[in-house]
A = this chain, B = another copy of it.
Amino acid sequence: MTQKLDTGIRQEQIAQAALAVVARHGLAGLNVAAIAKLVGIVPSAIYRHFGGKDEVVEAVLGMVRERLLDNVRNVCAETSDPYERLHRLLERHLALIRANHALPRLVFSDEIYNGPPARRRMMFRTVRAYLDKVAGIVREGQEAGVVRADIEPATAAVMFLGLAQPAAILWHISSGTFDVVAHAEEAWRLFSETLRGA
């Protein structure tokens, strides 16, 4: 029989396995059989550690949330220059997407919207938290006088997402053909020019 492990450990393993499955097959392709196989246990064993598939999905969304916000925290800790912060954040966001193929699909996934309302609300809070932090970086830049003052920080934050989002789609849809990094660099150049003003 498989080694018996503590529920805490198993929950961690299951959540990570689930994230891996989502990364390969999307949230729609997430099934307990696949998770169990990755963990090395039998499907029904999942229910010893989670109330059901929904709870596993919650855990996955929590992990994604943490990874996204970690990126923001890290770049903020590393430098105080707003441009350097945003530039690095963009790089890491794209790295996260590349490493975790389905991440952008997650935000859009039908399961988020068709599932329990609490799930959509949590996703909304996550995205808004991310946007708020980006907007905060922009606002600090304005207060320091290095970013144009006539730009709404919230708008800039959404536009910042817009640098990565469509590129991620294209990369996905083109099976990796589209050069995300090259586009991001060029787009960043233009976007940062805009923030700096004439």
Name A residues whose Cβ lies closer than 8 Å to a Cβ of B.
Answer: 25-29, 102, 104-105, 107-114, 120, 123-124, 127, 131, 151-152, 155, 158-159, 161-163, 165-167, 169-170, 172-175, 183, 186-187, 190-191, 193-194, 198
Contacts and interface: CB of A to CB of B under 8 A. Distances in A.
A124 B186 contact: no
15 contacts: A102-B110, A105-B113, A108-B108, A109-B109, A109-B110, A120-B173, A124-B173, A127-B169, A155-B186, A155-B187, A158-B167, A159-B162, A159-B191, A162-B163, A165-B165
Given A112-B173, A113-B172, 19 more contacts: A28-B110, A29-B110, A104-B108, A107-B173, A108-B172, A110-B110, A124-B174, A155-B183, A155-B186, A155-B190, A158-B166, A159-B187, A159-B191, A161-B162, A161-B169, A162-B163, A162-B167, A165-B169, A190-B194
Contacts of A170: 127, 131, 158
B111 A108 contact: no
Contacts of A172: 108, 113
A26 B113 contact: yes
A107 B190 CA distance: 26
A162 B167 CA distance: 8
Main secondary structure of the interface of A (DSSP, over half): helix
A10 B153 CA distance: 50
Contact of A169 (B107, B173, B191): B107
A129 to B, nearest CB: 12
Nearest to A166: B161
A169 B108 contact: yes
Contact of A25 (B28, B110, B193, B198): B110
